[in-house]
Structures are given as structure tokens and as C-alpha cells.
Structure 1
Amino acid sequence: MSFFKRLKESVSKSTESVTQKFLSGLSKTSTNLVGAMGDLFRNRKKIDEDLFEELEEILISADVGVTTTMDLVERLRGEVKARKITEPTELQPLMSEMIAEILEEAYAGSKLQIQEDGMTVLLFVGVNGVGKTTTIGKLAHRFKQEGKKVVLAAGDTFRAGAIEQLEIWGERAGVDVIKHQEGSDPAAVIFDAIQAAKSRKADILLCDTAGRLQNKVNLMEELKKVHRVVQREIPNGPHEVILVLDATTGQNAMVQAKTFGEAVNVTGLVLSKLDGTAKGGIVIAISNELKIPVKFVGLGEKADDLQEFDRDQFLHALFKDTIEEDESLE
């Protein structure tokens, strides 16, 4: 069975609405990355250095990143040589399988670590404007729909309007928000939120944090302090430290991931606004270079458009045109 056929069979086991969200959300990236690769492999008569150079340009333009691009192209060269491949059209399935292998590690740890007994504390970090507060709100809605008791902690006391924004999401989801005044000590807010969540027998505590990078040292010290408070008050907490990245920022997201990783042990990623970019190759770059599991991807504005990352759905949406071509050749 071909790689593409296996992919389609895997995706067919999911609900149609989830498949459609991935197809719609990744349509721009699919055209920019896979469509361009397909055109290259179809239009070339032979596999030569010019083909490899153009492939590099396509990958880099889709934000697959220089390091990951070089890794992929070198592996492709090796496969071409080892298998004695001469037809450029044979390279598309090879590229898809190599990308699938890279994403396997990102998918392996993609499930949130939700505690079966006691409260789960999820700490969210990320710079301003990436969609952190919105992500928390959407997850609150998701957990509430699952019947869980949820509390939100308004730990971003620095950004004007952050507390109010979280309160709006709290009202929409029908969950409590623990807050202090703007400018308060974030660690104190998180401490109070933990006590409130315990007293209300909450299942999930979602903690917002400040995202300013103008003074990186202060921000990182603040995050470390918040982290220590959670560790002190909750056994094995926080159970996840989720870094929210804006997919439209491309390689800048990699820089942010490295910066936050130095301050706190980031256990998972949320890639927001993936539907708004043609450069979704950043998912491949992050998976290859950072080895941090992708937990969720943002595929639209609605509360249910925040989807759990699914490698097969991602690949199916990315290679949708190639899958159709593969079927037509059978």
C-alpha cells in the first residue's frame, strides 16, 4: 500500500469536521509548499543540481527553515543515489515520507498530560500578540464541553486589557477567572488561583502569564518565580508548560521557542493562526530542530477551531492534491 493510501485510510477514521478544518486551515501552506514541489518535480526532465537548489528555495520560502531544509535535501540526495532514482516525479512521495518521519516525534507526545486524580495545572507562556489568551479561552471552552470544572488565572498583569480579555473568554465558557489589579505580582495571582481552584475542587487550572520581551531578564525571572509557586503548591505541577507561537511569524517563532525554553521547561507547543499563513512549514522546522511536541494548532477564529495536533491530518491536508493524483493513477 502506498504512503498516500495509508494516509487517507488513517484520516478516514476521524470525523469529517476535523478533516475539513485541517484541509481548510492548511490550504495556503499546501499550495505554497506541496503545490510548488509538485510543479517542480513534474516540470523537470532530470534530477540535477538545479532541481535540488530550487527545492531548497521552495522549502525555505515555506518556513521549513535553513537547517531542516538542508537536512531534507541531503537525505533526498542520498535516497536518489541509493535507489538509483532518475525520474523527478518519484521524489514527491519520498519527500512526503521524510516529512512524516520528522513530524512523528512532534506527534508522539501531542496528548495533554491531564491528571486522572486531582487538579491539572497548565501554564501558558509566549510573547504578546501570539494568541495566548485566546488559546486559553478556547481550551477552557473545550474542557467545559467535556464536563470538567475549569478555573482561569489572569497572571498577565502587565499588558493593558489582558485581564479583561481573559474575563470575556471566561464568561463565554462559563468558568471562573481569578484576578488581581493590573500591575500586581503575577506569582501572587497564580498562588491565589491555585487556592481558589483547590477550594472549588476544579479539575483544570489554566494560567495566563505576561509575554513582554522588551526586558527579557525580568520576564524570565518572573516566569521562573511563577513556576516555583506552582511547584510548591501542586505536586508534580505544572503538569504542562505550553508555549504559544504565532505560525505567521515563521522563523521568529523558533527564536521565541529557544528563549522561553531557557527560562522554563517547555513541554508542548500551540501553533496559533496556522490558517492565516502560507508558511506552515514552520511546524516541520520546529519538530525537527526543537523536538518539542505540538499539542494544538489554531485553524480558525471559532472556539472549536483549536484542534489537537494530528500528524496524519496535517500530512493529509498538506499533500491533498498529491493524494488525489496518486488515486487517479491507480
Structure 2
Amino acid sequence: MIQKFFDKLKNGLTKTKNNLTGRIMEVLSSYVSIDEDLYDELEEILITADIGVDTTLYIIEMLKQKIKENKIKDPNLINDCLKEVIIDILGSENAVLEPESTPEVVLVVGVNGVGKTTSIGKISSKLKDKGYKVLMAAADTFRAAAIDQLEIWSNRAGVDIVKHQEGSDPAAVIFDAVQASKSRNVDVLICDTAGRLHNKKNLMDELGKINRVIDREYPEANRETLLVLDATTGQNAVQQAKQFMEVCKVSGIVLTKLDGTAKGGIVISIKHSLGIPVKLIGVGEGIDDLQEFNANDFVEALF
């Protein structure tokens, strides 16, 4: 099973691998010694692979230090140093899709179109398979078809859903979902929320109301806020994350569509520039294609 996941990850990262490590290998093999020109070329590759300017400069700085410490003279040996630097940034903690304690409320935020509803469906399915009792709350009440879409996923994952009419008050949906969670002894309540970042004030008010309902009605519940980002948007995803961090306390990132992009380097940029762990990554369309993020596996698959 683990090997199957790793193979899926490796296949999913093919475009990023070609865009990043493939080009790095080419550059390293064309140099006989390590000099500033080589570092400049590496810098350019990292930036164009959507690792971002700040993160790239940090990587190059750390790389120079490691090369100096290990007295490396052969450009072909730089690769291993680069892997170490990236793993240091990503951290060695493996993400685990398990509630810290139960009951738990998971608020899922993210702009429309990033794969938020799909991610909720896949997370629900995974948690159910692990033996947890899961309930969905359809609190993205303003987007046409969001409730229907979530209902399709609730059927697919085999978990119950709490929903109101389109246009209802999202906080009222959460109130009912919390009552249902308590009466049915639910382990994890997963809430879909609105994705209207262009109207930050409304979003802030809405999330504020939702959180106040949970504080008041479900104080014993552990709380997690997952932000869903689309890997294909590259550095825009980092900007989105910064904006969401202004309106809510994000505890983890779900990065979707990694298999469809050459911009997988965004994982490194997110962790370095935001300090938020990437917890789940999507490398395919299937219900099992949302995987817990493992830094070592990610870097191995990349190189």
C-alpha cells in the first residue's frame, strides 16, 4: 500500500520533476567546478519552478553553507545537499489525518474552484475508513450547487450531511450540525465554508460567526482549520494563503492538483514563507488520491 502511494506520488510529480530536478541535473552535469555562475543558474531554475524569490534565496544560502561545511568540490554532489536543505525546510514530521482528540470540528476554507468540496469528500472517506464517525456540514450556502456537490460526496463517502436551503445563514447550518454531532456521538464534524475572498469583510464576519457558534455550543471540541489551495496557481496560492491567514487561524494546508502542474515547488514555498504545514496533497482524481504529506517521500519522489 505504501509503495503504491509512493508510486502515485512519483507519477503525480512528473511535471514538477521535469521542470525542477531534471533541469538541475542538466546544469550540474555541465559544470566542472562550483562557482557563482552555477549558483545563478540554480537560482533561476528554482524561481521558475515557483519556489518563490525569498525561499529560493534562502535555499541557495543554505546550500552554500552545506557545500562549504562538507568541502564539496564536485558539482554532481550538490544534489544530495539540495535534498537535505529542502527536507530541513519541510520538516521531518509526517502529517497524519487523525483528529488530535475527539470530538473535532474541521473548518475547510478556500476560494471557489480549488477543489474544496472534493477534498472534504475525500477526507471524510479516509476518516470513515479509519473507523471514525464523520458528519458533513454544508455551510457554503451562497454558491450555487455547492450544497448539491457536497451531498454527492456525502453519498459517495457514506457519511451523513447537515444542510439548509441555498442562501441560508451559514452559522445556522453549523449550529444544527453541532447539535446533530452531539446527539449522534460524531467523532469529526467537517464544515464546508464560503470561498468569497474578494469580499474579505463578509468572509471575516461569516467565519467569525461560525467560530462563535462552535465556541458557545461545542467548547469541548478540538478545532482545525484547513485551507485548500490549488497547486497549479503557483505563487498565487501563497498570496491566497496570506489573505486567508488574515481572516482565520489556518492550521494546515490541503494542496490539490499537484499531478497537473509543473509548479509542485510551491510546497516548499508555502512551508518556508508561511510556516504552515502542508498536511494533505492531491495527486489524482480518485477518492484515494488525497494523501497525507510526507516530506521525505515528497523529496525522494522529486529527485
TM exceeding 0.5 = yes
- From 281, 288, 293, the equivalent of 2:277 is 293
Q: Is residue 67 of structure 2 the alignment partner of residue 80 of structure 1?
A: yes
- From 84, 97, 103, the equivalent of 1:97 is 84
Deviations 1:203-262 (A, max 9, x none): 111100000122111112211221221122222545211111111111111111111111
- From 190, 194, 204, the equivalent of 1:220 is 204
Deviations 1:266-311 (A, max 9, x none): 1111101111111100001111111111111001000000001111
How far apart are 1:112 and its partner, in Å?
Answer: 4.2
Q: Is residue 156 of structure 2 the alignment partner of residue 172 of structure 1?
A: yes
Where 1:303 maps in the other structure, the secondary structure is coil
Cα distance in 1 for residues equivalent to 2:104 and 2:54 = 36
Structure 1 counterpart of 2:276, one-letter code: I
2:93 alignment partner in structure 1: 108
**8 A contact 2:194–2:203 mirrored in 1:** yes
2:302 alignment partner in structure 1: 318
Q: Is residue 113 of structure 2 the alignment partner of residue 140 of structure 1?
A: no
**8 A contact 1:227–1:238 mirrored in 2:** no
Cα distance in 2 for residues equivalent to 1:258 and 1:24 = 30
| CA 41–30 in structure 1, closer or farther in 2 if over 3 Å, else same | same
Structural mapping, 1:134-283, within 5 Å: 134-237=118-221, 239-283=223-267
How far apart are 1:76 and its partner, in Å?
Answer: 2.1
1:304 alignment partner in structure 2: 288
Cα distance in 1 for residues equivalent to 2:34 and 2:171 = 58
Deviations 1:97-117 (A, max 9, x none): 10111111xx5372346154x
1:41 alignment partner in structure 2: 28
> Percent identity of the aligned residues?
56
Decide which moves more: 232-241 or 124-133.
Answer: 232-241
Structure 2 counterpart of 1:285, one-letter code: S
Structure 2 counterpart of 1:139, one-letter code: I
**8 A contact 1:274–1:297 mirrored in 2:** yes
How far apart are 1:191 and its partner, in Å?
Answer: 0.8
TM-score (norm 1): 0.88
TM-score (norm 2): 0.95
**8 A contact 2:67–2:81 mirrored in 1:** no
Structure 2 counterpart of 1:228, one-letter code: R
Structure 2 counterpart of 1:15, one-letter code: I
**8 A contact 2:203–2:247 mirrored in 1:** no
Contiguous gaps of at least 5 residues in structure 1: 1-13, 320-330
| CA 225–109 in structure 1, closer or farther in 2 if over 3 Å, else same | farther
Where 1:239 maps in the other structure, the secondary structure is strand
Decide which moves more: 262-271 or 46-55.
Answer: 46-55
How far apart are 1:78 and its partner, in Å?
Answer: 3.1
Cα distance in 2 for residues equivalent to 1:68 and 1:259 = 19
Cα distance in 2 for residues equivalent to 1:298 and 1:194 = 28
| CA 141–267 in structure 1, closer or farther in 2 if over 3 Å, else same | same
1:22 alignment partner in structure 2: 9
Cα distance in 2 for residues equivalent to 1:259 and 1:223 = 14
Cα distance in 1 for residues equivalent to 2:213 and 2:45 = 46
Deviations 1:31-70 (A, max 9, x none): 1111111111111122222211111111011111110000
Structure 2 counterpart of 1:171, one-letter code: N
1:53 alignment partner in structure 2: 40
**8 A contact 2:142–2:194 mirrored in 1:** yes
Structure 2 counterpart of 1:94, one-letter code: C
Contiguous gaps of at least 5 residues in structure 2: none
Structure 1 counterpart of 2:19, one-letter code: N
**8 A contact 2:138–2:161 mirrored in 1:** yes
**8 A contact 2:94–2:294 mirrored in 1:** no
Structure 1 vs Structure 2 CA RMSD: 1.6
1:6 alignment partner in structure 2: none
Aligned length: 303
Structure 2 counterpart of 1:114, one-letter code: P
Structure 1 counterpart of 2:206, one-letter code: E
